[in-house]
Structures are given as structure tokens and as C-alpha cells.
């Protein structure tokens, strides 16, 4: 469990980090919380020749509000999000999702930006980020660009970040009133990763019907996805038990589900349906 030799730099600014990344491209990896990268390096499955530690860059860990957006710095730890009283009030999906990640040690070190950029197919954040319709702010040599959550996750361990881009910030639209949110997961008993993880972010209109529903699902497929058939089955309809159950049955529509030692593809799809229903119910119970 000893990595191959590598160089280490800890730039003081994001520009410097971006410059180093552009210079070394594939040979370099950004080090955030290190809770995915370091284990992979110790197993020698990842062998970057340069680690660019962005942990020393000031002001990358924050939770602020700007207009109708919540802005979260990429280096904000899971624990900081989990413990944010303000987020519990205005966007409970974020702290709820954070609290379900790994264990205390992982949450104290792991960062939201690191997790998103790593794009583990069973990580928790992608589900929440998709359900919240968040935007990712990426910094590269050519400046900044905004990537929608839907476009961010490309495949297993693969995002649409360019090799020389750094994820700087996550922007989450402020939930409107009458928004119901919840995150539920079945944790793999060894790793704690999501066998299925369901993020719900829906709005109920004054007429009691579902105005809009965003459902993000992780752990089921090679990448997290929006369960669009569940969403459309909910939108415009009364949020009664039958509607929810019928909608949740579409949780894994058209999904090429993962299969591993712990859960077959069929079981995963089934869990996705059951937990989608439960997560929706859990969310609206809070309204």
C-alpha cells in the first residue's frame, strides 16, 4: 500500500494550480480531500507523477448566498455542509446528503468538489447535485465556464471537465417555498458507498399538485442520472400515494444497471424504485 514516487506542489492560488495543471496535463492530479485519490494511489491503480494540492489555496471552502443562488466552494468538506444550520433551513438536501457519506473521518476530510470531480458511480453528491440542477464553475487556462449538472457527469469516473480545468464552485439555485427535499440511500456495508442513493427536490404548487420534481439517482448505473420518467409522472399531478408509487416505478427506466457482489442489476433497479418512492414520501412529509 505504498504509491509510486510522485512530486507534490501546493500552489497558493487557483491560477497557479490551473497553470500547473495545464503544464502537466495527464501526468498531474489535483489533490482535494484525498479520500478517493490517495487509496487509488496506494493501490498503484493511480500513478500521477505530480500531485497538485489545492488544499492550501485560500477561500475555496465556503457556503454563501448570492442573489437566488447558494454558492459552495469546491474545497468545502462534507462535514461543513452537513453542519451548516443555514443549509438545513434553506436547502436541507445538501446537509442530508452530506451526512450520509462514508464515516466521520471521510466527512471531515473529503470535499464536495473532490467527490464531484472524481465522479465515482456510487458517490452520493452527484445525485443531489443533479436533483438541485446545480451549476459547476470550472476554471481553466481559458478562463471560467459554467457546466450544468446534467452535462457534468459523462461516465464512470469521467466528467466533462477538461484535463486542465479545476472545479472551483458549485452553485445551487435557492429552493422556492413549498420545496420538499430528501436524500435516502442503501449503503454498501463494506464501503458505505451507495448501492442506490436517491435525491429528491420537488415543489408543490398552491393547488397541492406537484409543480416540478427533480430526482437524482446514484449507485445504480455507470453515472448518476436524473430519473426523468419519474419526474414527468409527478409533474402536474397530485402527490398522493398512488401517484408517487406509480412514478417511482420508473426510477430505473432504460438504465443499464450495475451488478456486483452485493447486488445484482435487478435488485438494484428494484431498490431504486422502492427508495425513490420512500424518498419522495420522506420529502413531502416535511412540507
Partner 1 sequence: MSKFVGQRVKRTEDPRLIKGLGHYVDDIRLPDTLHVAFLRSMYAHARITNIDVSEAMNTPGVVAVYTGRDLGEKIGPVPCAAALPDLKVPDHRPLASDKVYFVGHPIAAVVATDRYAARDAVDLIMVDYEELAVVVDPEEAAKGGAVVHEKFGDNVAYKLTAGEGDIDAALASADKVIKQRILNQRLAPIAMEPRGVLARYLPGEEELTVWSSTQIPHLLRTQLALMIGIPENKLRVITPEVGGGFGSKLNVYGEEALLGWISMQLGKPVKWIETRRENMASTIHGRGQVGYIEVGCRNDGTITGLRYNVFADLGAYHQLLTPAIPTLTGLMLSGCYKIPAIQINVTGVFTNKMATDAYRGAGRPEATYVVERAADLVAAELGLDPVEVRRRNFPKPDEFPFKTATGLFYDSGNYEAALDKALQNADYARLREEQKRARDEGRIIGIGVSTYVEICALGPSQAMPAGGWESATVRIEPTGKVTILTGASPHGQGQETSFAQIAADELGVDIGDVTVIHGDTSIVQYGIGTFGSRATAVGGTAVYIAIERLKEKANKIAAHLLQADISKVVWDENGFNLEPEPAKVAAGAGVPEADLPAGQAPGASLPEPQIEGKKSLSLQDIALAAHLAKDLPPDMEPGLSATYFFEPKNFTFPFGTHIAIVEIDRETGEIKFQRYVAVDDCGKVINPMLVDGQVQGGIVQAIGQALYEEVVYDEQGQLVTGTLMDYAVPKAAMLPWFELDRTETPTDVNPMGVKGVGEAGTIGATPAIVNAVVDALSPYGIRHIDMPIKPENVWKIVNQQS
Partner 2 sequence: MKIEGTHELQARRERVFQALTDPEVLKRCIPGCEQLEKTGENSYAATLRAGVGSIKGTFKGNVRLEEIRQPEHYRMIVDGKGQPGFLKGTGAIDLEEQGDATIIRYAGDVQVGGTIASVGQRMIQGAAKMMASQFFTAIEAEAKTEANDPPPKHGFFRTALRWFSGWVRRRFRKKSGA
Q: Does 255 bind partner 2 (CB under 8 A)?
A: no
Residue closer to partner 2 (CB basis): 44 or 145: 44
Alpha-carbon span 60 to 13, nearest angstrom: 10
- Which residues 18-57 are close enough to bind partner 2 by CB under 8 A? 26, 29, 37, 40, 43-48
Q: Which residues contact 140 (CB under 8 A, 6 or more apart)?
A: 18, 22, 162, 164, 165, 166
Per CB under 8 A, does 160 bind partner 2?
Answer: yes
Question: Per rule CB under 8 A, is residue 3 in the interface with partner 2?
Answer: no
Q: Is 83 in the site for partner 2 (CB under 8 A)?
A: no
Only one of the segments 1-9, 83-91, 175-183, 228-236 lies at the binding site for partner 1 (rule: CB under 8 A); that segment is: 1-9
CB-nearer residue toward partner 1: 193 or 225: 193
Number of residues engaging partner 1 in binding (CB under 8 A): 22
1 scored as a contact of partner 1 (CB under 8 A): yes
Kindly report the backbone phi and psi dihedral angles of residue 101, in degrees, each rounded to the nearest multiple of 5, phi listed first. -80, 130
Window contacting partner 2 (CB under 8 A); options: 64-72, 90-98, 123-131, 151-159: 151-159
The residue within the footprint of partner 1, chosen from 2, 59, 207, 241 (CB under 8 A), is 2
> Out of partner 1, partner 2, none, which partner does residue 1 contact, by CB within 5 to 8 A per kind?
partner 1
Which residues sit opposite 185 in a β-bridge? 197
Residue number, 50 or 90, with CB nearest to partner 1: 50
Give the residue with the Cβ less far from partner 2, 151 or 266.
Answer: 151
Question: Between the CA of residue 35 and those of 40, 42, 48, 92, 280, what are the distances in Å?
Answer: 9, 11, 15, 24, 30
Contacting residues toward partner 1, per CB under 8 A: 1-2, 4-5, 43-44, 103, 186, 188-191, 193, 261-264, 267, 270-271, 274-275
Q: Which residues contact partner 2 (rule: CB under 8 A)?
A: 26, 29, 37, 40, 43-48, 118-119, 121-122, 150-151, 154-158, 160, 162-163, 188, 191, 193, 222, 228, 256, 258-262
Amino acid at each position: 500500500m505504498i504509491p509510486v514516487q510522485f512530486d507534490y506542489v501546493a500552489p497558493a492560488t487557483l491560477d497557479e494550480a490551473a497553470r500547473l495543471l495545464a503544464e502537466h496535463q495527464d501526468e498531474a492530479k489535483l489533490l482535494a480531500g484525498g479520500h478517493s485519490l490517495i487509496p487509488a494511489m496506494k493501490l498503484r491503480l493511480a500513478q500521477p507523477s505530480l500531485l497538485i494540492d489545492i488544499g492550501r489555496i485560500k477561500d475555496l471552502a465556503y457556503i454563501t448566498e448570492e442573489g437566488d443562488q447558494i454558492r459552495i466552494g469546491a474545497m468545502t468538506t462534507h462535514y461543513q455542509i452537513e453542519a451548516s444550520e443555514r443549509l438545513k433551513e434553506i436547502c436541507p438536501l445538501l446537509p442530508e446528503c452530506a451526512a450520509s457519506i462514508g464515516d466521520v473521518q471521510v466527512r471531515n476530510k473529503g470535499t464536495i468538489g473532490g467527490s464531484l470531480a472524481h465522479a465515482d458511480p456510487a458517490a452520493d453528491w452527484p445525485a443531489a447535485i443533479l436533483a438541485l440542477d446545480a451549476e459547476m464553475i470550472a476554471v481553466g487556462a481559458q478562463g471560467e465556464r459554467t457546466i450544468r449538472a446534467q452535462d457534468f457527469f459523462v461516465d464512470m469516473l469521467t466528467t466533462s471537465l477538461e484535463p486542465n480545468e479545476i472545479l472551483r464552485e458549485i452553485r445551487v439555485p435557492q429552493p422556492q417555498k413549498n420545496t420538499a427535499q430528501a436524500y435516502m440511500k442503501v449503503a454498501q456495508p463494506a464501503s458505505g458507498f451507495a448501492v442506490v442513493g436517491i435525491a429528491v427536490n420537488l415543489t408543490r404548487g398552491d393547488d397541492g399538485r406537484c409543480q416540478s420534481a427533480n430526482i437524482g439517482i446514484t449507485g445504480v448505473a455507470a453515472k448518476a442520472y436524473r430519473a426523468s420518467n419519474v419526474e414527468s409522472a409527478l409533474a402536474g399531478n397530485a402527490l398522493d400515494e398512488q401517484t408517487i408509487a406509480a412514478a417511482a416505478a420508473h426510477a430505473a427506466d432504460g438504465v443499464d444497471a450495475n451488478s456486483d457482489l452485493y447486488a445484482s442489476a435487478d435488485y438494484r433497479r428494484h431498490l431504486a424504485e422502492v427508495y425513490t418512492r420512500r424518498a419522495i414520501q420522506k420529502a413531502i412529509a416535511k412540507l
